[in-house]
Amino acid sequence: MHRFFVCAAMAGVLGSQVAIASDIAPTDVKFEDMSIGQSLTGVPGNPEEGAKVLANRGLGNCLACHAVTPLESEQFHGNVGPSLDGVADRWSAEELRAIVVNAKHIFTEQTVMPAFYSLEYGINPRKDLEGKTILTAQQVEDVVAYLGTLKEPE
């Protein structure tokens, strides 16, 4: 009986912590000085999951435009965008978050990089995708965590 109450109490504490850490809605994301300083989830990103999202052709599909040497086992790296090798030495985590969320806020409206966590679609979006983001807030944080590992060799 005592174990039940301890487990129930722990579940209540854990449940309340999960409720505290909620995602920032795409419409509430704040860009300041070409960066997003606040985590979208309040939960650290997982670099291993970020690498999966980045390489997944149904999610990030980043390799369609960017080369990433640590993911060279994946096929069909693109060259439309710059190589992501060493990206952590060129951009801070806050800047990388802003680029992934909506590169048009950082570069120009003409960039071909999609907004991965935005409801700004441009013209003629597919009706079934309206109101949805390409990535979840946690997937953005995971990708940012992975990009943070991509440093120039010393």
Predicted confidence (pLDDT) per residue in 20-33, tens digit: 458 999 999 999 99
**What pLDDT is stored for residue 3 in this prediction?**
42
The residue ranges of every structural domain in the chain are 47-148
Q: What is the DSSP letter of 32?
A: B
- Show contacts of 97-103: CB within 8 Å, 24+ apart: 97/35, 97/36, 97/39, 97/40, 97/140, 97/141, 97/144, 98/31, 98/34, 98/35, 98/36, 100/135, 100/140, 100/143, 100/144, 100/147, 101/26, 101/29, 101/36, 101/40, 101/140, 102/29, 102/31
Summarised one tens digit per residue, pLDDT across range 70-107 is: 999 998 899 999 999 999 999 999 999 999 999 999 99
Q: What is the pTM of this model?
A: 0.83
pLDDT confidence bin for 115, thresholds 50/70/90: very high
- 145 has pLDDT over 50: yes
CATH number of 47-148: 1.10.760.10
- 6 has pLDDT over 80: no
